[in-house]
Structure 1
């Protein structure tokens, strides 16, 4: 029987937790779950988000009690800053899509060490799509390796982005003439870039770590590149858990960064 390294053991733990989370979330999907609006205009949260968060907290923290915990649906604690490894979790990324009955929502689950994500899962239960990556071991969709797209002319590229990012104020010159597409879940956008379904994605606003931690590793392990909007490599488990936007892409990544202000 093969001996699993710590990275594979962590990834297997995340996969099992994601499947359990999917079982819970499917029970609330299209079943009129209770919905609340978060304070400060942070958007909606449903009873499914909270129930999934509870399950993930129980399963993951019992398996790795020495790992720190950062989740969208858990009050943050500075205790995570003194740990060597951290779980970075979005129980349901794309809550609005979940409420609206779209399939484009995901569980985003990552482990970081020294600011670097080392294992990651993005799981879309309604699509049975399990995106996975371990640092240095490549990325996969349902066990099959995936790769980001190579470089091309930006005019022929397709980029996942909200309309807000097309505002000329963000760009050094004319907005690049790429074709824009959209998915409500940031995690799913990143996964689709890693899969080679789109050339890139971008979000040009302060971005919560739990939205992008898992996807950042999956993109880079698929051969793509990830940065904040200034081109810097993101670091995770910050005291205030936000990064300065995110650009993730295959070969067109340098072109997107260079085009921004």
Structure 2
């Protein structure tokens, strides 16, 4: 196993390298729409796979763009990636797409990076700190499927909700202080959450399921029903409002 690069540096280099690949694919202007998104996914996935085969051949692997052979379940170290989180946003020229790279060790994303190439930044668990200061009084939610529970929590707390594309982009906007929390219900997969949760945890933000239980990764079933990432100061209020919604509605959807 090649160990010239630490896990942290490898995580960061992969996220940055994928960003360069995807910027090149898009700025060439030779592909548009679905063809652009498909090409970006395929090229980024192939490059990530080859890098990990060379540098961490014994580790497990889970990606939205690769077949899951379940051998990862026997491994303590698993790379969970999404080469393009927000393929629609990427292929239509929007900026709110991201690259997710996480090394999960015993169910926890210990090393993570969320790249946002259009903003020229990669958020790294190795070097990140959440913005503090005045609250924005805003929650970020899915632009396409804003969950009812988020609207309920926002109303209870006197907040507004704003829709953004990629899950990674939403989480990083909380880290930047643009929003006080990211509330999601309706389901995501491990590759949607592992890297954003890893970076957000390292920055000191609260990350959990809406019932307050911890999020674990490298499960046989990769579906995760819900998520909250928020400033720790409002964690208890957010979770209490979510519990009130769930009791009245039989769940979070």
What TM-score comes out, normalization by structure 1 length? 0.82
Give the alignment's Cα RMSD to 1 decimal: 2.5
The answer for the alignment partner of 1:199 in structure 2 is: 180
Question: Displacement, 1:149?
Answer: 4.1
Question: Displacement, 1:45?
Answer: 5.0
CA separation of 1:114/1:247 partners in 2, compared to 1, >3 Å: closer, same or farther?
same
Question: Displacement, 1:207?
Answer: 1.4
Question: Where do 1:225-244 residues align within 5 Å?
Answer: 225-244=206-225
Question: Displacement, 1:159?
Answer: 0.7
Q: Which residues of structure 1 form unaligned runs of 5+? A: 1-5, 37-43, 141-145
CA separation of 1:177/1:162 partners in 2, compared to 1, >3 Å: closer, same or farther?
farther
Question: Where do 1:36-47 residues align within 5 Å?
Answer: 45-47=37-39
Q: 2:90 aligns with which of 98, 101, 107?
A: 98
Question: Where do 1:155-234 residues align within 5 Å?
Answer: 157-162=137-142, 164-167=145-148, 171=152, 176-234=157-215
CA separation of 1:218/1:172 partners in 2, compared to 1, >3 Å: closer, same or farther?
closer
Rounded to whole Å, the distance in 2 between the matches of 1:177 and 1:106 is 30
Question: Displacement, 1:168?
Answer: 6.0
2:218 aligned counterpart, secondary structure? coil
Question: 157-166 or 17-26, which moves further after superposition?
Answer: 157-166
Rounded to whole Å, the distance in 2 between the matches of 1:85 and 1:187 is 22
Question: Where do 1:1-261 residues align within 5 Å?
Answer: 9-29=6-26, 31=29, 32-33=31-32, 35=34, 45-134=37-126, 139-140=127-128, 146-149=129-132, 157-162=137-142, 164-167=145-148, 171=152, 176-250=157-231, 251-260=233-242, 261=246
